[in-house]
Amino acid sequence: MLTFENVSHTYGVTPSVENISIQIRKGEVVSLLGPSGCGKSTILRLASGLEQPQAGTIMLDGKVVASEGVFIPPEERGIGLVFQDYALFPHMSVRRNILFGLEGVSNGMSREQKEARVNSVLDHVDLSGLGEMMPDELSGGQQQRVALARALAPEPRLILMDEPYAGLDSRLRERIRDDMLHILKEAGTAVLMVTHDSEEAMFMSDRIYVMRSGQIEQAGRPIDLYCRPHNAFVAEFFGEVNRVEGIIEKGHLLTPLGNFDIPEGASGRSASLIVRHEGLVIGNGDKTNAEVMETRLLGRYSLVHLSMPLPKGEDLHLHARVPGLNMLSPGQKVTLSVDPSQVFIFTQGSR
Ligand code: ADP
Ligand code: MG
């Protein structure tokens, strides 16, 4: 549905995105995930035709829309847009906002057909009956659904969404994104969305592109990225981690948390061990190696702060995340180990 081939774009001096290749298939929901300023919105602007790339080729449904000497303007691309601030017209009713989305793109439709389409998308986003309301009479979640209805009305082949839930408070956000995912999947529209929140990306996406500094770090299904990150940056983007330095001896990484096999092809004398907070296992064996400093209940899980004395004198400060309420009290001696499936080793060469 959408293909970028070696696309680069520079606004000023330094490139905002460099040599980007991505692909979104029919009906697929794909996220661009990365920190602020890494170039996510630029990719959406290039896809929609708000910017023209300096290099590379962009194709929509097999047709070149941007390349050297080719540029198809935004209104001819058949793409729906949903932004963080919804961009609803405040002086127009919900119905007229959605009708506006049909102007220009659906020239062949009669007035009646347009009205029927508006009713059908309103129904689709569960807002029938609210067509005559003004945007400021609606909640944030309802406004977001109007924005989605407006984008869906012309039946675009692709919808681009830029941080679509950022304006909603966290509890509403979870419900709205669930609604949105069901609506989008039912409509079968391909979606490229932008977020800096890894949980949101995992919730919404069939596939994710993780970005850093204008480039793609890693692409894959949520499970691939979470379970097999290629580097520390990707691992750390998908959840809180402990980072412990170790030294390499005879094919093993020696760390205070135990000794680990070195991945094939790794070289060097030292490496970082990355352990997710949920990958640290607190046991009560005879051989204790750490002490509980504090436990905080955070709702669905508790965060345990631990201190592990090192031979050289200083202490290693570690975080463990355990389900539910944890009754460990400060000063308690425990045996720490790690869940091997939540551990990643990256040598100094990897970023
Ligand atoms: P993200 O959406 O990931 O936060 P953006 O794509 O908005 O990142 O920005 C990527 C880079 O391009 C940033 O360094 C940003 O400052 C720069 N940039 C974005 N838009 C413009 C613009 N209109 N003019 C100049 N620089 C821009
Ligand atoms: Mg952005």
CA of 210 to the centre of ligand 1 (A): 17
Ligand 1, CB within 6 Å, residue ranges: 11-12, 16, 34, 36-42
Percentage of the chain modeled with pLDDT above 90: 59
Residue nearest to atom 5 of ligand 1 (CA): 39
Question: What is the C-alpha to C-alpha distance for residues 164 and 167, in angstroms, rounded to an integer?
Answer: 7
**Distances, alpha carbon 259 to alpha carbons 160, 268, 324, 326, 338, in Å:** 46, 16, 30, 28, 11
Look up tokens 């001696």; give the residue. Answer: 333
Q: What is the 3-state secondary structure (H, E, C) of the chain?
A: CEEEEEEEEECCCCEEEEEEEEEECCCCEEEEECCCCCCHHHHHHHHHCCCCCCEEEEEECCEEEEECCEECCHHHCCEEEEECCCCCCCCCCHHHHHHHHHCCCCCCCCHHHHHHHHHHHHHHCCCCCCCCCCHHHCCHHHHHHHHHHHHHCCCCCEEEEECCCCCCCHHHHHHHHHHHHHHHHHHCCEEEEEECCHHHHHHHCCEEEEEECCEEEEEECHHHHHHCCCCHHHHHHCCCEEEEEEEEECCEEEECCEEEECCCCCCCCEEEEEEEHHHEEEECCCCCCEEEEEEEECCCEEEEEEEEECCCCCEEEEEEEEECCCCCCCCCEEEEEECHHHEEEEECCCC
Q: For the whole model, what pTM was predicted?
A: 0.88
Look up tokens 């990958």; give the residue. Answer: 279
Per-residue buried b or exposed e for 286-304, using 16+ beta carbons within 10 Å of the residue's own CB: eeebbbbbebeeeeebbbb
pLDDT in tens, 24-39: 999 999 999 999 999 9
pLDDT in tens, 315-327: 999 999 998 887 7
Which of 36, 42, 211, 212 should be mutated for ligand 1, with most atoms under 8 A from CB? 42
CA of 30 to the centre of ligand 2 (A): 16
pLDDT in tens, 50-103: 999 999 999 999 999 999 999 999 988 989 888 876 678 999 999 999 998 787
Q: What is the dihedral of CA 6, 9, 10, 11, to 10 degrees?
A: 180
Residue 350 has pLDDT above 60, yes or no: no
pLDDT in tens, 116-133: 989 988 988 888 889 999
- Position in ligand 1 atom list of the atom nearest CA 38: 3
Question: What is the C-alpha to C-alpha distance for residues 121 and 144, in angstroms, rounded to an integer?
Answer: 13
Report the 10 Å Cβ neighbour count for 240. Answer: 11
Domain 2-232 has CATH 1.25.40.10: no
Q: Which sign does the torsion angle of CA 259, 263, 266, 272 carry? A: negative
Do 51 and 9 form a contact (C-beta atoms < 8 A)? yes
CA of 187 to the centre of ligand 2 (A): 25
* Strand 63-67 with 55-60, pairing: antiparallel
pLDDT of residue 351: 46
Residue 349 has pLDDT above 60, yes or no: no
Question: What is the C-alpha to C-alpha distance for residues 214 and 46, in angstroms, rounded to an integer?
Answer: 13
What is the residue extent of each domain of the chain? 2-232, 240-347
Question: What is the C-alpha to C-alpha distance for residues 2 and 56, in angstroms, rounded to an integer?
Answer: 14
pLDDT in tens, 294-310: 999 988 899 999 999 98
Inter-axis angle of helices 111-124 and 94-102, nearest 10: 120
pLDDT of residue 210: 98
Contacts of 294 (CB under 8 A, 6+ apart): 304, 305, 330
